[in-house]
Amino acid sequence: MTTPGRWQRGWWMASILAALVAGAGESHAAQVTVVNMIPLAQSGETNQDSEPNLAVNPANPLQVAGSAFTPSQGFCGPNLAPIFVSSDGGNTWAMNCIVPSDGSGMTSDITVRFAETSGNLYAGILRRPGGFRLNVLRTTNFLGAAAMTVLVDRQFVDQPYVQATTSSGADRVYVGDNACCPTGFGGRTATIDQSLNAGSAAPVFNAIRIESRATAGQDGPPVRPAVHADGTIYGVFYHWTNRVGNFSPFATITSDVVVIRDDNGGGGATPFTNLVDPGDGLAGMRVVQNRTVPWANTSQATFGQERFVGSNATIAVDPRNSSTVYIAWADRVGTSDYTLHVRRSLDRGLTWSGDLRTITNATNPALAISSEGTVGFLYQQVVRVAVVGNSVIQGWVTHLERTTDAFATLDDLILAQTIANAPPVTFLPYIGDYGHLMAVGRDFYGIFSANNTPDLASFPHGVHYQRNANFATKTLLALDNQTPVPVSIDPFFFKVIAEQPPKFQYAAKFICGKPDNPVLAPGTYFTAINVHNPGERGVGFRKKFAVALPGERPGLVSRFFDARLGPDEAFEIDCPDILKHTRIRSGFLKGFAIIESDTELDVVAVYTAAGASRLVETMEITRVPPRRRAGAEGSDPVPAPGLGR
C-alpha cells in the first residue's frame, strides 16, 4: 500500500517538474504568506468551507474580510451567519457574526468588497432559505457586532459578485449577477445591480441588463465587473447561444464570451453600452464566439470532486491605464477537458490578443493587476498524483502566476498542492465556483479553498494554521489540542508582498570549458566564484546566470536561485554549478553570474586556465565590487564592474 508520505514525495517531484516544463521559476522578489483562516476557537470544525471570497480595505490594508460557505455552527445569534475578519493584514482571523441568514446560520453564494476610501464593507449574497434571493448588504464597521444592513432584497438572482469603489466621496457598488431562474427579460439575464451612492442612508440600486443580444434562454451564471478609478467599468459574462441537454444534470452549452464597458461609472442614460462590437453593431464585444462549455452539476470523479457549471470568468483592468484589460474564462477545447484561457485588450476592449495563457483542467480563475502593472493570475488545477490499486489519487494545485510582459515570462508561485480525493464531497461546489485575487498597490491578496491536512509539503511557501494542528503527525486537533479532527475543506488567505529590489548586486564574469572556436586561446578555462557572508547574521540572497554568446548575441538568462549563508560562512559557485543552473550542455560557456543581496557580501572570482599540459598556466583572483541598485534606500551608484583589475 502506498503511504501518503510516499506519494506526497512523488507529488512534489511532479509539481517541480511541471514548473520546469512550463519554464516558470518561483520568484524570490516577494514575501509570500499563506494562512489557514479557521480560527483557533473553531478548531473542531469539519465544514466544507468552499467558494471563498476576499476583500481588502484599500484605505487600510490591515483590514481584510473573507467569506466562504461557512456556517455559524450554533455560535452566532439566531438567523446570522459569519464572515472572516482580520485587523492585522490577514495574519490572524476571526469569525464575525454579522451576515443576515436563516436558521442554517450560513448563506448560499456570497462575495464581499470594501469601497475605496469609506471603509464600508459591502456583500452580495444569496440569502437562505431558497436559492435565488439576492441581498446586497453593507456595514460601516466590519469588526462591529451589528448585523449588516440590507440594501437590496429581491428574488430570482444567481451568483452576485460585488465590486465597489468610492468616487467624489460617494460609494459606488456594482454587483454582477444573473437574473435567471425563472428567466425574464427575454432571456437577457446578465445584469449589474448598481448604486452610485451606496453609502447613503437609503441607497437606490438599479438592475442594469447588460445583455444586448438574443440568447438561448439565458446567459451563464457568472457576471463579473471590474472598476477603474477613472470611472471606467468593465464587465464580462457568458452569452449563451445554444444549449443541448436537459441540465439535470448534464448539458452542453455554446457560448460567446462578452465584455461590456461603461466610461462614466455607470452613470449615463444607457449604462454599459460604450463598447460596441463592430461585427453586429451591438453593445458588448464578443471576445470569442461559439465556445463549448460543459454543464455537469454533479461531482466529477476526474475533476477533483468539483463540478462544471460554466461559472468561471474573471476580468481585471490595469490601474495605470484603463485601456488595458485582461479576462480569463473556462471552456472545453477537447472532449473531456476544462480549459482556462487568458486574453488581453490594449484598446478598451475593442480588439483582443489570442490566448496569452491556457491552463488545462483548471478552475477558479481570478485576475488582478498591481499598481506597477504586474498581472496576477490565480487558478486551481487538478493533477494526477499517483495510482494506488485501482484508484487514481488526484490533487488540487493552487497557482498564482505573475507576469510583467503579458505572460511571455512569468513567476509561478505554487501556494498549495493538496489531495483532491479527500474529504468526500459534502455538497457542491467542492472547492468553489470561484476564488478571488485582488491587488492593493504593488501587492496581491487572495483566497482559495483546499483540503486542510496540516502537511508542510502541501504548502511550498509555508503556511500558518490558527486552528490546532500537529504538523508532525499531519493531524488536526480539536480545541482541547488532543482530540483528532477529520480533514475538511478550509479557506486559505494569501498575500504576496512585492519586495524592494535587493540593495546590492554583483556581476562576476565566468568562463568555463574549452572554446570550440577561436574566441579565446586554446585551453581549458575554469571559474570559481567565492561568496562570503561577513556579517554576524545569516543572509539570504539570490543568484542567476546570463550567458554571453559570440558575435554580439545575448544568451539565456536563467531564473533566480535562492541561496543562504550563515554568519562568516562561504561557498563557491563553480563551472559545474553554472552549467547545471543554465541547463546548457555546451563544452564552453561564458557570461555573468549575478548575485543580489540586501546585505553586502564578499565576492571573489578565481579564474584559472590550463593548456595542453592540463596543468594550471594562469590564475587570476578578482574581488567583485558591489553595485548599489537604483531605487534601493541610500542608492549610491557605483560604476559597473569589469573584472576588477
Partner 1 sequence: MGSRVGWVALAAFVVFASVGLVAPVWAQPAFDDLVRQSSLIFQGVIVTPGATSMPEVPVSPSTIVVKVNQVFQAPKALTGLAGQEITVLMKGPAGLKRGDQAVFFAQGWMAGEGIAVQEVGRLPGRGGADLPRRVAAARQAMADQELGARVSSAQLVVVGKISGIAPRPPSDPSTGVSEHDPQWQDAILQISTVLKGDRALKEVVVLMPGTLDVAWVTAPRFTPGQEGVWILQRHPELPAYTALDPLDVQPLAQQARIRRLLAAPRSSP
420-449: which residues touch partner 1 (CB under 8 A)? 425-429, 433
Shortest Cβ 296–partner 1 spacing (Å): 10
Rounded Cα–Cα distance for residues 515 and 176 (Å): 63
The long-range contacts involving 474-480, CB below 8 angstroms and separated by at least 24 positions, are: 474/4, 476/43, 476/452, 477/43, 478/43, 478/44, 479/40, 479/41, 479/43, 479/44
**Position 158, amino acid:** D
Looking at 9, 10, 23, 88, which residue binds partner 1 (CB under 8 A)?
A: 88
- Does 403 bind partner 1 (CB under 8 A)? Our answer is no
- Does 207 bind partner 1 (CB under 8 A)? Our answer is no
Residue 478, judged by CB atoms within 10 A of its CB (0-12, 13-18, 19+), counts as: middle
Shortest Cβ 343–partner 1 spacing (Å): 25
Looking at 30, 56, 85, 594, which residue binds partner 1 (CB under 8 A)?
A: 85
Looking at 221, 225, 365, 460, which residue binds partner 1 (CB under 8 A)?
A: 221
Rounded Cα–Cα distance for residues 321 and 300 (Å): 40
In this complex, which beta carbon is closest to partner 1, that of residue 76 or of residue 259?
76
In this complex, which beta carbon is closest to partner 1, that of residue 451 or of residue 466?
466
In 3D, which of 430, 402, 433 has the Cα closest to residue 415? Answer: 402
Q: Give the containing element (helix H, strand E) for 579.
A: helix 575-582
Count CB-CB contacts under 10 A for residue 40. 14
Stretch that binds partner 1, among 75-83, 357-365, 510-518, 556-564 (CB under 8 A): 75-83
Shortest Cβ 217–partner 1 spacing (Å): 6
In this complex, which beta carbon is closest to partner 1, that of residue 67 or of residue 345?
67
- Does 386 bind partner 1 (CB under 8 A)? Our answer is no
Beta bridge partners of 191: 177, 209
Shortest Cβ 170–partner 1 spacing (Å): 27
Residues 253-312 that bind partner 1 (CB under 8 A): 295, 297-299, 307, 309, 311
In 3D, which of 495, 501, 438 has the Cα closest to residue 462? Answer: 495
Looking at 8, 36, 57, 86, which residue binds partner 1 (CB under 8 A)?
A: 86
In this complex, which beta carbon is closest to partner 1, that of residue 178 or of residue 314?
178
Shortest Cβ 298–partner 1 spacing (Å): 7
**Secondary structure of 2-65 in the HEC alphabet?**
CCHHHHHHHHHHHHHHHHHHCCCECCCCEEEEEEECCCHHHCCCCCECCCCEEEECCCCCCCEE
- Does 100 bind partner 1 (CB under 8 A)? Our answer is no
Residues 310-329 that bind partner 1 (CB under 8 A): 311
Residues 556-585 that bind partner 1 (CB under 8 A): none
Q: Give the containing element (helix H, strand E) for 256.
A: strand 250-262
One character per residue 590-629, x = contact with partner 1 (rule: CB under 8 A): ----------------------------------------
In 3D, which of 485, 259, 219, 497 has the Cα closest to residue 371? Answer: 497
In this complex, which beta carbon is closest to partner 1, that of residue 243 or of residue 503?
243
Looking at 15, 118, 466, 597, which residue binds partner 1 (CB under 8 A)?
A: 466
Rounded Cα–Cα distance for residues 544 and 583 (Å): 12
- Does 636 bind partner 1 (CB under 8 A)? Our answer is no
- Does 197 bind partner 1 (CB under 8 A)? Our answer is no
Q: In what order do the strands lie in the sheet containing 285-296?
A: 223-227, 233-245, 250-262, 285-296, 308-309
